[in-house]
Amino acid sequence: MTGLDDIRAPGAVTRGGLVLPHYPIPKDVHPSLDSPEYRSTALRHPTQPLQLMPQRLTEVTGPLLGEERVGELDHDLTRQHDGEPQGQRIIVHGRVLEEDGRPVPNTLVEVWQANAAGRYRHTGDNWPAPLDPNFTGVGRCMTDADGHYRFVTVKPGIYPWRNHDNAWRPSHIHFSLFGRAFTQRLITQMYFPDDPLFFQDPMWNSVRDENARQRMLCHYDHSATEAEWALGFRFDIVLRGPQASVFEEEDDDDE
């Protein structure tokens, strides 16, 4: 049996040619692109079936972006201006992992969010909640060797939108992850426990599987809470991971 390390070792070759890692497609995890409750999907989801594409060199590699993408204060959204932003100061941290539990080290994590009043610093966000001159709402950091990341920010406010009658988005932070392969690219949103608005949110509910939905929740983490300073929340993120066993047969039974 070929181990994962062998599959990822440069120069590993079988009789058939190049040996590549393989990232199985997760089942019953991601939302359907056609989710009518979220009205904007109506004209934006492909109507033709997706074409299955085997994973080859372009798909099993990906951008390995480094520290050059991250400024000194990018991880601390409360220190990017002269003064402190309004709101409940929080620490959001966790690990970026693959399905087999391996950490993804040195990978770029990007976040963006509304301010404490629920307003984004974006020209398209015009609802009557105040902007905060001391809050941009954009953060970046790299995971460490153990896959760990950490941001300091304020808890984002709830905001209204026009998807349905009296529609409000639960408090959330947008996350962007690269992993190490094109197949692993992930954009998600992190939600807070016990939000009263989940019942009417089509994005939260677009993830049909209850267990999968729970994986978008952070958890209060008292060990990360800093006394007289900030509340800690933990959010681990699991990316698709390579499977070790698919290339174990190298002899004559060519499929």
Partner 1 sequence: MSDQNAAVGAGGRLGVTPSQTVGPFLHIGLPWPDGPYVVPEGTAGAVWITGTVYDGAGQPVPDAVVETWQADPDGRFDHPDDPRGAAKPSIPGFRGFARCDTDADGRYRVLTVKPGPLPCPDGGTEAPHLDVTVLARGLLDRVVTRIYFPDEDAANAADPVMSAVPPDRRGTLVAEPDGDGGLRFDIRLQGDGETIFFEV
Q: List the interface residues with partner 1, window 137-166 (CB under 8 A).
A: 137-138
CA 127 to chain centre: 26
Task: Decide whether 230 or 237 has the Cβ nearer to partner 1.
Answer: 237
- Residue 213 phi/psi, 5-degree rounding, is -60, -40
Q: Can you read off the two tokens belonging to residue 115? A: 């301010």
| Torsion angle, alpha carbons of 208, 210, 216, 222, to 10 | 170
Q: Can you read off the two tokens belonging to residue 8? A: 């990822």
Q: List the interface residues with partner 1, window 182-241 (CB under 8 A).
A: 182-183, 185-189, 203, 206-207, 211-219, 221, 223, 234-241
Q: List the interface residues with partner 1, window 74-93 (CB under 8 A).
A: none
Contacts of 176 (CB under 8 A, 6+ apart): 109, 110, 111, 186, 187
Q: Mask: binding to partner 1, 6-45, rule CB under 8 A, as x and -? A: --xxxxxx--xxxxxx---xx--xxxxx-x--x-xxxxxx
Could you confirm whether 38 is annotated as catalytic? no
Least distance to partner 1, CB of residue 239, Å: 7
Could you confirm whether 120 is annotated as catalytic? yes
Task: Decide whether 24 or 83 has the Cβ nearer to partner 1.
Answer: 24
Could you confirm whether 191 is annotated as catalytic? no
* N-to-C CA span, the chain: 17
Choose, from 119, 140, 169, 240, the residue flagged as catalytic. 169
Q: Which residues are catalytic?
A: 120, 159, 169, 172, 174
